[in-house]
Chains A and B, each alone.
Chain A
């Protein structure tokens, strides 16, 4: 049984392929927690191993992590397993999360991504002597950010959703395909009807535009 649910309220807005669409009432069954609520929950998990707070985080994030993994082509059973594993990692490493430095969704995203990469690596390397060599939290090298760098980045990342919504649909689509597709270059070329050789420049253009929009929305 899932931990008890909060009353449904509000309307979540969802971005799919560059279109902003209201989620059907059935999917928006509960109010999106605020950043302050999420940070209070993770603090309670870190400081007092508070299970109700962990349950609230689980309720919000576990289905999204699984949904994300399924959307990226991970099969259902593995997505379920990795979503649970990500939540276990959140429980164990909660004290390492600093809300001043990053958003929890970004932190969980990198953990889930690295667990997925790690899973494929281990499968590819059945002879691995020491799988610990590949600490899922350490790969790729995003663990090298200093606190100051993270603080700067954390301030910027709050504008990323707005910036994504403000991009021309085609550019938002390029960015989403880059994250969701197993072979993003081929898929971007196919969806946009452009030669494969021009995909890189489209990606660079979309990211440049995203960064500029983030600067603007923050200003």
Chain B
């Protein structure tokens, strides 16, 4: 049962096509597993449809209709869209599906970032600077205490963590910013894997964690 959802401050820009690629991918991954949020997004897209109906029509160029007719007469180049080649990706725990939203992204192998912790860098082809990561935290392990220079979006793919504010389980979504100072700890019993967008470098309390964070680019 999903307990934590993205707010309308994220769904509205997603519906409007204004959310940055990295943030949009984390929210989209949540939507894959959350019917409630899909319905909420659809409502906001209907708002886009309503604004489309209400906007002042623009004068089309002369010949627009004829050009469109010529284009529909041409055989569609994309008549049978090829299934995108599945790029190799690091293994997830058994039974955990790879998020469809990440198809097309390049994902590194799992790399060490601390005892019991691994990360994989997710690169968005059209926005390579977007700081998107998969984090794999061993059961009972904690991410060092930190706060955020900007927005941090997290989607739980499997397992669960508790950061003192709440417990986040499979399918849950979290948005944190500089007002949140936390130490996410994976619950005992299962490895926790999250997709995370880090809008600005995280600020770790400890010096070792800071050094590792800088090295990873988080």
Interface residues of A (CB under 8 A from B): 1-3, 14-16, 23, 27, 51, 54-55, 58, 62-68, 70-71, 79-80, 83-84, 87-88, 91-92, 102-103, 105-110, 112-114, 116-117, 120-122, 124-125, 127-128, 130, 132-135, 139-142, 144-146, 149-150, 152-153, 156-157, 160-161, 164, 175-176, 178-182, 184, 200-201, 203-204, 207-208, 210-211, 214
Contacts and interface: CB of A to CB of B under 8 A. Distances in A.
Given A80-B60, A176-B51, 19 more contacts: A1-B66, A62-B68, A63-B57, A63-B59, A70-B58, A80-B64, A103-B49, A106-B42, A112-B52, A121-B127, A125-B127, A128-B126, A149-B35, A149-B42, A160-B47, A164-B47, A179-B18, A179-B51, A210-B47
B interface SS class: helix
Contact of B46 (A106, A130, A135): A106
25 contacts: A55-B65, A64-B53, A71-B56, A83-B58, A103-B46, A106-B45, A106-B48, A107-B49, A108-B49, A110-B45, A112-B52, A121-B126, A141-B28, A141-B100, A142-B38, A142-B42, A145-B38, A146-B35, A160-B49, A178-B13, A178-B18, A204-B7, A204-B8, A207-B44, A208-B8
A83 B57 CA distance: 11
A149 B39 contact: yes
B32 interface: yes
Contact of A68 (B14, B55, B72, B100): B55
B84 A203 contact: no
The residue in A3, A27, A87 that gathers the most chain B C-beta atoms within 10 A of its C-beta is A87
Contacts of B104: 130, 133-134
A141 B82 CA distance: 18
B139 interface: no
A58 to B, nearest CB: 6
B52 A68 contact: yes
A102 B38 CA distance: 14
Contact of B54 (A14, A113, A182, A184): A14
The residue in B9, B50, B59, B64 that gathers the most chain A C-beta atoms within 10 A of its C-beta is B50
Nearest to B64: A84
Nearest to B127: A124
A120 to B, nearest CB: 8
B35 to A, nearest CB: 6
Contacts of A152: 39
B127 A144 contact: no
A214 B46 CA distance: 11
B126 A15 contact: no
Contacts of B65: 1-3, 55, 58
Contacts of B24: 139-140
A133 to B, nearest CB: 3
Contacts of A204: 7-9
Given A63-B58, A68-B51, A149-B42, A132 B84 contact: yes
Contacts of A181: 18
Contact of B49 (A16, A54, A105): A105
The residue in B76, B100, B126 that gathers the most chain A C-beta atoms within 10 A of its C-beta is B126
Contacts of B55: 64, 67-68, 71
Contacts of B19: 140
Given A64-B52, A88-B71, A141-B100, A179 B42 contact: no
Nearest to B71: A88
A99 to B, nearest CB: 13
A156 B49 contact: no
B43 interface: yes
Nearest to A158: B46
B125 A128 contact: yes
B4 to A, nearest CB: 15
Contacts of B127: 121, 124-125
Contacts of B16: 113, 178-179, 184
B126 A132 contact: no
Interface in B22-38: 24, 27-29, 31-32, 35, 38
